[in-house]
Amino acid sequence: MKLGFLGGGQLARMMALAAYPLNIKCAFLDPAKDACAGPLGNLFVAAYDDESALKQLGAWSDCVAFEFETVPAGVLKLIADQAPHYPSYEALLTTQDRLHEKKYFKKLGIETAPFEVVDCLSDFEGAAAKLGRPSILKSRRLGYDGKGQVMLRDDTNLSEALDAIGKVPAILEGFVNFDREVSIIAVRARDGETKFYPLVENIHQNGILHISTALNNDPFQCQAEEMVKSLLDDLDYVGVLVLELFLAGNKLYANEYAPRVHNSGHWTIEGAITSQFENHVRAVSGLPLGDTNMVSPCAMINLIGTLPDTSDILKIPGAHLHLYDKQPRPGRKIGHVTVCASTDSMLKQQVERVLELIK
């Protein structure tokens, strides 16, 4: 079995590490010749819309998967002519535009923050009047890690806010005064078999995920599973899908979904019986899904911008280091540390030891 990936970053790298034990060989298409998944398979260095490279990847692969969701429709068509790809066109397309995504949530009866379309300043003025402040201006396309977003506060000038996101089509989103940010990671096989990982609590710093902690038997597990299941079934989805949620009071609000493995699921490599990476590979390859239960209390801390001393991290009992072989750069995810412990209080101590080293 040969699995081709569009993208050769850390997500593809970790999927490849999970694929080889299943006898699945990997190839990657990435514009960077030093793409960090490169040493783990065939690397086709080319732009993502390079027709000849896409054909090469498609011809090499029994099946194609994606590391990111911003895949242009034309690219998908070229690939579809050569090899089956998962997830489907619809699953990728819907999440490429925040407005479509929000409307899609609504259609499925999945609660979201209130939102308004912002195509120009007059739209924006109307939306701001309706949703009040604080609220958040978000570009409809290509936002990640807090990019393309502006928080609208009492003193924010609307015209400057629009300029800050480059005057692109956007939405204004009502602010959910959430108690917690959580995500639910689910996986669906080709035959419809579906499994859910324990809910994850996520803490962000400067718009970038900082810490994810797996929640055992959380009271909102069931509600979150129902929300993500309606998405998976409606999309006839194949692979791992992650739904980001806000918890406010007793209610979950969908923020966005990622049709792929997700940073908030990196803890599953050691913390769950089968990792999100292995389960994504299993699903897209037509294999049965693995057990998604937790092994022990577990948390993940991102390494962002700079790298602490490797030895110091490795000395922490139960700490697992995952480096992505990427050049350090401010705001760049260059690795993560997973900490497993036998009790929640020991986990908290170990997490604090890691945080001490990276602050």
Min dist CB 23 to its own copies, Å, is 4
Q: Is 40 in the site for its own copies (CB under 8 A)?
A: yes
Which of 33, 34, 39, 51 lies at the binding interface for its own copies (CB under 8 A)? 39
Query: Which of residues 107, 315, 328, 356 is near its own copies by CB under 8 A?
Result: 315
Residue 131 or 303: which CB sits closer to its own copies? 303
- Asked if 282 touches its own copies (CB under 8 A), the answer is yes
d(CA 15, CA 67): 9
Angle at the Cα of 196 from the Cα atoms of 21 and 340, rounded to 5 degrees: 65
Stretch that binds its own copies, among 68-76, 235-243, 320-328, 348-356 (CB under 8 A): 320-328
Q: DSSP string covering 211-264, please?
A: EEEE-TT-TTHHHHHHHHHHHHHHHT--EEEEEEEEEETTEEEEEEEESS--GG
* 249 contributes a contact to its own copies by CB under 8 A: no
Is residue 358 involved in binding its own copies (CB under 8 A)?
Answer: no
Q: Three-state SS for 79?
A: helix
Residue at token pair 């390079």: 50
Beta-sheet pairing, 2-6 with 63-66: parallel
User: Which of 80, 164, 248, 287 contacts its own copies by CB under 8 A?
Assistant: 287
The smaller minimum CB distance to its own copies, of residues 168 and 321, is found at 321
Which of 138, 262, 320, 333 forms a contact with its own copies (CB under 8 A)? 320
Under the criterion CB under 8 A, does residue 310 sit at the interface with its own copies?
A: yes
User: Interface with its own copies includes 138 (CB under 8 A)?
Assistant: no
Regarding 22 and contact with its own copies (CB under 8 A), the answer is yes
Q: Does 32 bind its own copies (CB under 8 A)?
A: no
* Minimum gap (Å) between residue 292 Cβ and its own copies: 11
CB 137 within 8 A of CB 172: yes
Answer yes or no whether residue 340 interacts with its own copies by CB under 8 A: yes
Q: Does 203 bind its own copies (CB under 8 A)?
A: no
The two tokens of residue 27 are: 């190839």
| Tokens at 56, concatenated | 């090469």
Q: What is the token pair recorded at 260?
A: 């792929």
Whether cis (ω within 30° of 0) applies to the bond prior to 21 is: no
Beta bridge partners of 42: 27
- Tokens for 21, please give them: 């034990």
Q: Please provide the size of the chain in residues.
A: 359
Cβ atoms of 257 and 101 closer than 8 Å: yes
In this chain, which of 318, 332, 346, 348 binds its own copies, going by CB under 8 A? 318
If binding means CB under 8 A, how many residues of this protein chain bind its own copies?
32
- Which element (helix H / strand E) includes 322? strand 319-323
Q: Taking the complex as a whole, how short is the minimal distance between the CB of residue 340 and its own copies, in angstroms?
A: 7
Rounded Cα gap, residues 108 and 110, in angstroms: 5
| 332: contact with its own copies by CB under 8 A | no
Closer by beta carbon to its own copies, 146 or else 318 = 318
Q: Minimum CB separation from its own copies for residue 25, in Å?
A: 6
Mind giving me the DSSP string for 262-315? -GGGTTHHHHBSS-HHHHHHHHHTTPPPPP--BSS-EEEEEEESS---HHHHHT
Contact positions toward its own copies, by CB under 8 A? Answer: 13, 17, 20-23, 25-26, 39-41, 273, 282, 287-288, 290-291, 295-296, 310-311, 314-315, 317-318, 320-323, 325, 335, 340
